[in-house]
Structure 1
Amino acid sequence: MPNFPPFTLTPPPPAAAPPGEKLPLAAVALGLLALLVATADADASRARLSLGLALVLLSGGALAWAWLAFGRTEAGWHPHDLWRRASTSRGAVAWVTGIAFTGFYVVLYWFPWLLENLIRALDPFSQNLRHRAADQWFLYGTFYTLAVLVLGGRALWKYRFSRYHLARTASVMFFQLGISFLLPGLLLALQQPEYYFNYFWPLKYDYLFPGTVAQLLHGGGLGVFMVFWGVVMSFLATPVLTYFYGKRWYCAWVCGCGGLAETAGDAYRHLADKSRAAWRWEVRLVYPILGLIVLLTALLWVGASGAVPALGVVTGPLGQFYGFAIGSVFSGVVGVGFYPLLGSRVWCRFGCPMAAYLGLLQKHFSRFRISTNGGQCISCGNCSNVCEMGIDVKQYAQRGEPIVRAACVGCGLCATACPRGVLNLENGPHEGRLAASAFIHADSLRIL
């Protein structure tokens, strides 16, 4: 009898690489090597040269690769074979990248002395901007801002066909560079409190703590304005803006966490878990975290009033727990370190109290929705694949149901990726926002 080979499915071909990508990738590799040299060199002058070379090579290599991948092709939406690349499909490269990111955050938070040479290399820059020596957080802010700017350039190449995404990317780049990095440094140079005007309670939870408020109020007129700004933005402007535009005005246009997710994390957005189990964990985690910070803030104010002096025994450990478990481990180590494995919005989806606060407003009191035209949906799944918040958009589109989800950050990629124009981001009237679009049932069709 003839010996037939066993039946097997042919594996998909490897993802096509942009022609000429070896040179920019070599530049990135050399940049990482130069960064390691700067980290190990105790001589500040040599470390400064190595760090400068590293940043030039890393930035130039990343931008050159982005141009090769997106700049030379026809403008428009392309899947870019993300599920066939080891770097974006939880392959070996993704695991190495995730371990490197996680390791950096662990060192930054708990072993900053290992970064001392890099920190000292940034002293001249810090002195010019802030009139003080660099520290671990200035190093982190520099790296963070550079990542948003460089990979924001990548996003501008990739989404150059969409005015919405160009404006959104430019917005997060502006807020990160101007409001989150340069402005706080200039405030320090002017002997004023360091303040981040694009972060509010409950995300920047300590801004409304009694101790922080008292410190700002003693800083003069600018400190009083900072307290006023924090209160107004948290309790007045945020609900009003969310009513008109949904949470996208902040999460997709202003927030630094969202800015990093939309730029550095863009290549990992498809990794968000779309399962119902993931949604249950989302609800179990993000709303209790919001409740915890509300409780902590209230307890601190009650304690500061002197009504219950014994509250200090509770608020101290509770504040330390929140700062360590949520502020450090969740938002940094897991939130960014796990980009290549769990997607770019792990923190925003499961841990961010600001996202939970905005999500409740968006779901129940906002005009924002994503409308769907079910009669046009071809079930390609592009919309679900690009949703970084783990929403199975296709299930809504197939039924013609509007998407009014607390998790949605309004990034608009689902509408961009749809080949049929089924999805549309709307700020319509609140009345009727849950109504489905007209759907043509199969029984209504007559085949001639």
Structure 2
Amino acid sequence: MDESFDRAPGAGRTRNVLADPNNTAGSDTKGTLFNQREPLRQPRTSPPFDENNVSTADVMSGGSFKRQSKPQQSANANSTSASRGFNEVDSVVKSSKLSASAPEFVPSAVNPYEDPSFYDDDESYYGEPTLAETVADFLGHLSSSPGSFELDVEQITGMLNSWVTTEELLNELVELIYTQSTAIPNFAYTGARLCNYLSHHLHVSPPSGNFRQLLLKRCQTEFQQRDAAVGGDPETQKKFHSYVLFLGELYLNLEVKSVKGPPNRADILLAALKDLMNSLFSKPVDANLICAVKLLKLTGSILDDAWKERGHPHMEELIQRIETILLDATCSRDVRQMLLKLVELRSSDWGRVRAAAAASNATPDNDPNYFMNEPTFYTEDGTPFTAADPDYAEKYQEILDRQDYFNDLDGENGDESELYDSEDEMEPEMEEAFESFCLETERKRQQ
């Protein structure tokens, strides 16, 4: 092996160096090449500290270590700066009070104490919902899902029992339910059912009255303004009509416990409904008449029975007023038609069917449901008819005759082979034409 071989890293390699033809000495060439080489650069990162095992983050948190922004000019400057940095870091580490086993790191600029008054302005936003918000939520739920009333009403009542414990809150609850029941469209029925359930299961009962008594007082306040409401502006009439229909639902659904026997309806509402209808008929405009028709369709049969039991001819009086309005009032044609239909409905006992005769003794004369389950047939031209049709026997016989005719064609009353044979036979001209077609096809195929 050549003794002059240089084992130093990078020996014998140059970068952008031109060869000197006058230089023939190998040693001189080696020295020239080595001298022309650039000095080694200092590393970009500081070397690890041997004496103390301190992370860069801990040193930087002390605030004494600063990264140099200017490039190093020489190796001596680098070594001098590095040694100075080591001494500074070593002093910071020795005097530092930081510990790696500390549970958490809290900078000195952060105040761990929070002033409770800072959240006073947002207490209403983050606080619990009010009674009005809660009642509006579950009434909206019952309005959108009335079929879940039986499943949800017990939970709602339990929540209200834990919430409504004073007379003031009970009055607020009554006002909220009354307002929502008369304001939400088509919610009067569900609202009346809810009022009936709460009247029996709400525990709070202050001296001023329980839930049912306070609700009736609230309805009485609106009842006393009936004469002014029927002649008011359209918005006032609309609110009054919603109240009237809600009171009708309340009469049908509100039950009052009796000492003996089953619960009864509130008789005070029976008299109130008669006065309300008289007020509506006293101002026979279209909106009032439509409300009266809706109320009588809803409660007419119940009111009629209740007044007959007490011997009061109130329903006959109301029907007479309707007939008078039909003759004298200048209502629209549609409203007049509604009133006529209502009079017809009452003449048919409100469309009710009394107890039907026994099945063994039922006849078309004594049982109005005699033909209810009979099938519907159709004539040849598509006209439907049932057993109640006067010409039922004749039309049904035509269907049977037509069915027998088609049965004969299908072979049930004859020979199927004759039918099929007659369909398969061909006339002589057709046979001759078919043979000519077969021969022509065969000749073309052979060509």
> Do both proteins adopt the same fold according to a TM-score greater than 0.5, normalized to the shorter chain?
no
Greater helix fraction, Structure 1 or Structure 2: 1
The structure having more radius of gyration, on CA atoms, is 2
Identify the structure with bigger relative contact order (alpha carbons < 8 Å, sequence gap 6+).
1
TM-score (norm 1): 0.22
